A = this chain, B = another copy of it.
Amino acid sequence: MTEVTTTGADLPRLRELNSLSIVRALRDHPPSTVTELSRRTGLSRPAVDVIAQGLVTDGWARVLEPGSSSAVGRPARRYQFRAGAGHVLGVDVGAHKILALLADLDGTIVHSVRHAVDAQAGPAERLAELDAVIESCLSQAGKSPTDIWAVTVAVTGAVDASGRTSFFTPLPGWQSVDLTAHLAGRFSCPIVVENDCKLGALGEQWQGAATDAVDIVYLQGGMRTGAGLIIDGVLRRGFGGAAGEIGALKQVRWLDAPAHLQNCPGVPETVGPDDAAAWVFNAARDGHKAARAAVNRYVKDLAVGAAALVLTLDPQVVVFGGGFSRSADLVLDPLRRELERLCLRMPDVRASTLGADSVALGALKLALNEVDQRLFGGGLSAPVAPRR
């Protein structure tokens, strides 16, 4: 499914292309017979056989000798992509928690570690916690940093064009942190830092509520409101990495939208500011009048920005994710009503199915994409970790 530029191609290149095509077919349906691969790629059986054997000697695939086959006829040898040849790491550095996911090249999650972090923690403390999470995730899975082929870290705030620094962020003291540089000492593989909303969108497209769509607006509803955009199947960063930051427009009341929930009258003293929103949602669900009004005001403000995104992009799907997506049952219907009122063509409005994990999963997916691009983008090199 990947694309290669059409320049002059000679025979070795042709074989490389066909090898790639077999690798892809192998990854899509893990244990495949030669005949299946032949059918899927359009290549002849002998060709597939030779290539598959080459992949085995190169270390890209392993062969499963025929076990108990229930079918009639000679049981076929099966080839399998060696997903365990490399691993990738996706990390979500949030305000309250740090979540690391370790996965193999198939995207199968091997291990995950989640640590709680104080929202007020300074950058040094947060970085130390990040290191601890990564360290324990690797060691508990029995992996070393050299086994990792790509790392993606999700942070709040926009990430600039080089994918390096986040030039503004709500995390205290986080502006001056160069995460890439910080991790460069530990990993020699590619390191990507990306905005959390964008990665949330990627996660929902990969394994969440929008696997069927290619034009997606992902709304992150939480103490901070944001958006991630997928257009024609590809995550869009914008020229300077600031795509989706419609919340910066004052007419779009995203900055103040969560305040409707936090400042809702009737929240007990015992409920902290971080839990106020959850309390309001629960109260609204129970019929609490002021809470319902607060939720409605929140959705009304959310919808203005959402409408701006929808009118700009005309997406197929709008996914509501983020911390408040647990209360999507209260949000979705009024959000739909508002969008119906404001938009020309109504998109499909859905709740996130990944919840709080969407960002880390998106980070994982971006790391996998990075590996794909490096290893399969131009030619098929040996299965070793790419270097920066």
Residues of A within 8 A of B (CB): 1-11, 14, 17-18, 20-21, 24, 41-43, 47, 158, 215, 229, 231-232, 234, 236-252, 304, 307-309, 311-316, 342-345, 347
Contact flag A158-B239 (CB < 8 Å), given A2-B6, A6-B1: no
Q: Which residues of the other chain, B, contact A18 by a CB distance below 8 angstroms?
A: 8-9
Contact flag A347-B239 (CB < 8 Å), given A246-B308, A246-B311, A314-B245: yes
Instruction: Tell which of B20, B239, B314, B347 touches A6, judged by Cβ atoms closer than 8 Å.
Output: B20
B43 near A8 (CB under 8 angstroms)? yes
Q: Which residues of the other chain, B, contact A14 by a CB distance below 8 angstroms?
A: 9, 11, 14
Query: Please, which residue of chain B has its CB at the minimum distance from the CB of A23?
Result: B6
Contact flag A232-B236 (CB < 8 Å), given A6-B4, A18-B9: yes
B345 near A240 (CB under 8 angstroms)? yes
Q: Which residues of the other chain, B, contact A238 by a CB distance below 8 angstroms?
A: 215, 313-315, 345
B344 near A248 (CB under 8 angstroms)? yes
Q: Which residues of the other chain, B, contact A304 by a CB distance below 8 angstroms?
A: 249, 251
Instruction: Tell which of B20, B158, B231, B314 touches A231, judged by Cβ atoms closer than 8 Å.
Output: B231
A246 near B312 (CB under 8 angstroms)? yes
B240 near A314 (CB under 8 angstroms)? yes
Query: Please, which residue of chain B has its CB at the minimum distance from the CB of A308?
Result: B308
Bound CA span A6–B6, Å? 11
Q: A7-B41, A237-B314 are in contact. List 18 more A-B contacts (CB 8 A).
A: A1-B5, A2-B5, A3-B3, A3-B4, A9-B18, A11-B14, A229-B312, A229-B313, A239-B347, A240-B314, A242-B311, A242-B314, A242-B344, A243-B312, A249-B304, A249-B311, A251-B251, A251-B304
Bound CA span A188–B312, Å? 34
Residue pairs across A and B with Cβ atoms less than 8 A apart, 5 shown, are A9-B21, A10-B43, A240-B345, A245-B311, A312-B313
Q: Which residues of the other chain, B, contact A232 by a CB distance below 8 angstroms?
A: 234, 236
Ordered nearest first, which 8 A-B pairs have the shortest CB separation? A238-B314, A8-B41, A8-B43, A3-B3, A8-B42, A239-B316, A242-B314, A240-B345
B312 near A344 (CB under 8 angstroms)? no
Q: Which residues of the other chain, B, contact A344 by a CB distance below 8 angstroms?
A: 158, 242, 245, 248
Q: Which residues of the other chain, B, contact A239 by a CB distance below 8 angstroms?
A: 215, 314-316, 345, 347
Query: Please, which residue of chain B has its CB at the minimum distance from the CB of A236?
Result: B231
Query: Please, which residue of chain B has its CB at the minimum distance from the CB of A15?
Result: B9
